[in-house]
Chains A and B, each alone.
Chain A
Amino acid sequence: MADAAFLALTVITIGSAIAALELRSLIYGSIALMGTLGGIAGFFFLLDAPFVALFQLAVYVGSIAVLILFTVMLVKRELIFKKIEDKRRKFAGIGLMLVVMVGLGAIFLDSGIKTITTDEPPVDFRDIGTDFVTYYWPALILMGLILAGSVTGALVLAKREDVENDQRTN
């Protein structure tokens, strides 16, 4: 069961990644990118990490993909790209990617990952949370400060001084 799901997810993830690169329509390309990110969320589900998987869905598919989609919709593609269809370059690109992936996969398989056996139960997200507020608290504080700083900075940057207009009443 897990094998079939794994294979299906692999096909979806890699297939939509290729589609995201190769499709001429930018909108369909970004939809394919969403497929890739969703496939990665599926991998996290298979790895017994639903917490990460749901955040992958909420943040990457729900926010970042929307951002990309929105940016693409405001772009007039014809003004930026000149259509140069070159079949040979396209297939060379796909071939190069496959070679790199096969090479990486061979390295992974050769690294002894197949001989690792573990019976340990999956780590509960509550344990991670407990670790963060006890032993690793400086890291948590640092992350919190960075995030708070970036959110405040974004708000300050996005704030706009409106032109005074007497006809408008807030």
Chain B
Amino acid sequence: MSAIAPKFKLSEFIKSLLDNIFWIVLLVSLIGIPAIQVILFYIEMPVINGELLTPFLAMTWLADPSRSLPILKAFMATDMFRVMAFPGFGFAALIAAGTIFVERKMLAKLQLRVGPFYCGKIEGILQLMGDGLKLISKEIIIPAKADKPIFWAAPVIFVATAAAFVALIPVAPGWVVADVDLGLLGVFAVIGFFPIITILSAWSANSKFPFIGGIRALFQMVSFEIPLILSLLGVVILTGTLNLSEIAASQSSFPWIIFLPVGAIVFFITMLAELERIPFDLPEAESEIVAGWLTEFSGMMYGLVQLGTYLKLYAFAGLFVVLFLGGWNGPMVVPPFPEEILTDGIVMGPITAKFPGLPLFDQQMLNGTLWFVLKTVGVIFFILLPRGVFPRIRIDMLLSLGWTKLIGLAFVNIFIALGLLYAGVLGPGGLQ
């Protein structure tokens, strides 16, 4: 007899399982499959193996491997895949989730603690899943005098804005959600929305601590936007373009950090301030104002804000990589796809299996993604590291840093770029 569930009976449990399976099979066959067929009828289907994929053929991919890979490939070429899975939201959310776990574990190790330990057998790797389940199952409490529409909308808009930022970051050649001609200006426009959302959510909670935190966040973000924009102009002057993919492609022989180290340092510091990381975490200063502008959020609303914060962190790290560290460029380390699988198929004894859809990704894309992820993870590591090392600085020090020192250094960086340009060393398109 278990102490948790005293009336537990194995036979009842199996019966309930079988009951559930029966209803699932019944409902899927009666409603699910016809509904899928109806939906497929209205979707524009791709041409696979020379024939149009009709709704009648669509379900055969489950049984026919020669059709399933091309269907997968056709799906990967769609915009929906880009937005939801690979260079877009899913990929970024995965990196964001990894970042949260690595941050907690790394800080613990830095400070001689254990960190997450019990969730999952090895070093608490399931901690994040546990936290997510906890946040989803918690009640969402809204302060009685809060301004409800804004308070509800703020976390969602925050995540949406962060996702819009992620959409502008190119991961591999041709793999970007929105390949805008004015990508860098788009980044500036998107960054400008974060202070609005922060101050609105802080105001709408109708509570002291969020409002103090929100005002601090507004001061910090707005004043650090100026050195941020100025520090990136050097790269724009040298490449002659605002398209992020072209900026990344222009660094095939050397990254811009070699010529513009001042700009890179200024951008890194402003990045820390925009992300509200220690030593600039005044908006969330947990030892002074509870949790700053996040104080009144609970349950999954807090989870959404946290997801948005880490998406923003990934996007900023990716932007640093694209602008200063060469983006996807790097030595070719991914081996080419074996030719004999394409020509002969996979031979295993008497069985030969041919897969017409292979290779799923080309070598360049895999290599680019590998280098981009490696560099981004490195930059994220350097963003996380100060949290274990530095104390928080005062707000007047922060503002004087942003308004005097960083703007001055950003102008120095612009003059270095102009000097390189007019001396004829560098110019739009690379080394001359």
Contact of B222 among A34, A55, A63, A155 (CB under 8 A): A63
Contact of A50 among B181, B191, B222, B403 (CB under 8 A): B181
Judging by beta carbons under 8 Å apart, are A57 and B192 in contact?
yes
Judging by beta carbons under 8 Å apart, are A62 and B192 in contact?
yes
Judging by beta carbons under 8 Å apart, are A58 and B189 in contact?
yes
**Cβ of B421 to closest chain A Cβ, rounded Å:** 12
The reply to whether the CB of A70 lies closer than 8 angstroms to some CB of chain B is yes
Question: Which residues from B are CB-within-8-Å of A137?
Answer: none
CA distance A75 to B75 in the complex (A): 53
The interface residues of chain A, by DSSP majority, are classed as helix
Contact of B191 among A34, A62, A158, A162 (CB under 8 A): A62
Question: Which residues from A are CB-within-8-Å of B225?
Answer: 62-63
Contact of A34 among B181, B195, B196, B396 (CB under 8 A): B196
Question: Which residues from B are CB-within-8-Å of A66?
Answer: 192, 195-196, 199, 218, 222
Q: Scoring B residues 396 to 414 as 1 if CB is less than 8 Å from chain A, else 0, what string do you get?
A: 1100000110000000000
* B373-432 with Cβ < 8 A to chain A: 396-397, 403-404
Judging by beta carbons under 8 Å apart, are B193 and A62 in contact?
yes
Q: Scoring B residues 140 to 173 as 1 if CB is less than 8 Å from chain A, else 0, what string do you get?
A: 0000000100100000000000000000000000
Identify the interface centre among B196, B199, B225, B397: most chain A CB within 10 Å of its CB: B196
**Cβ of A161 to closest chain B Cβ, rounded Å:** 12
The reply to whether the CB of A65 lies closer than 8 angstroms to some CB of chain B is yes
Contact of A27 among B182, B191, B203, B404 (CB under 8 A): B203
The reply to whether the CB of A102 lies closer than 8 angstroms to some CB of chain B is no
Question: Which residues from A are CB-within-8-Å of B117?
Answer: none
On chain B, the number of residues with a Cβ less than 8 Å from chain A's Cβ atoms is: 25
**Cβ of B217 to closest chain A Cβ, rounded Å:** 11
Judging by beta carbons under 8 Å apart, are A54 and B199 in contact?
no
Judging by beta carbons under 8 Å apart, are A57 and B222 in contact?
no
Judging by beta carbons under 8 Å apart, are B218 and A54 in contact?
no
Q: Scoring A residues 13 to 43 as 1 if CB is less than 8 Å from chain B, else 0, what string do you get?
A: 0000000000000010001001000000000
- Nearest chain B residue, comparing its CB with the CB of A74: B215
CA distance A50 to B396 in the complex (A): 37
CA distance A158 to B396 in the complex (A): 12
Judging by beta carbons under 8 Å apart, are B182 and A69 in contact?
no
- Nearest chain B residue, comparing its CB with the CB of A158: B403
- Nearest chain B residue, comparing its CB with the CB of A25: B147
CA distance A4 to B38 in the complex (A): 29
Question: Which residues from B are CB-within-8-Å of A73?
Answer: 199, 203
CA distance A55 to B182 in the complex (A): 11
Q: A27-B203, A66-B218, A158-B403 are in contact. Are A51 and B185 (CB under 8 A)?
A: yes
* A50-93 with Cβ < 8 A to chain B: 50-51, 54-55, 57-58, 61-63, 65-66, 69-70, 73
Judging by beta carbons under 8 Å apart, are B189 and A54 in contact?
yes
Judging by beta carbons under 8 Å apart, are B403 and A61 in contact?
no
Q: Scoring B residues 189 to 210 as 1 if CB is less than 8 Å from chain A, else 0, what string do you get?
A: 1011101100110010000000
**Cβ of A121 to closest chain B Cβ, rounded Å:** 14
Judging by beta carbons under 8 Å apart, are A69 and B200 in contact?
yes
The reply to whether the CB of A118 lies closer than 8 angstroms to some CB of chain B is no
Question: Which residues from B are CB-within-8-Å of A158?
Answer: 403
**Cβ of B209 to closest chain A Cβ, rounded Å:** 15
The reply to whether the CB of B279 lies closer than 8 angstroms to some CB of chain A is no
**Cβ of B330 to closest chain A Cβ, rounded Å:** 30
CA distance A162 to B199 in the complex (A): 28
Q: List 24 A-B contacts (CB under 8 A).
A: A27-B147, A27-B200, A31-B200, A50-B181, A50-B182, A50-B185, A51-B182, A55-B185, A55-B189, A58-B185, A58-B188, A61-B192, A61-B193, A62-B188, A62-B193, A62-B195, A62-B225, A63-B225, A66-B195, A66-B196, A66-B222, A70-B199, A162-B396, A170-B397
Interface residues in chain B, defined as those with a beta carbon under 8 Å from any beta carbon in chain A: 147, 150, 180-182, 185-186, 188-189, 191-193, 195-196, 199-200, 203, 215, 218, 222, 225, 396-397, 403-404
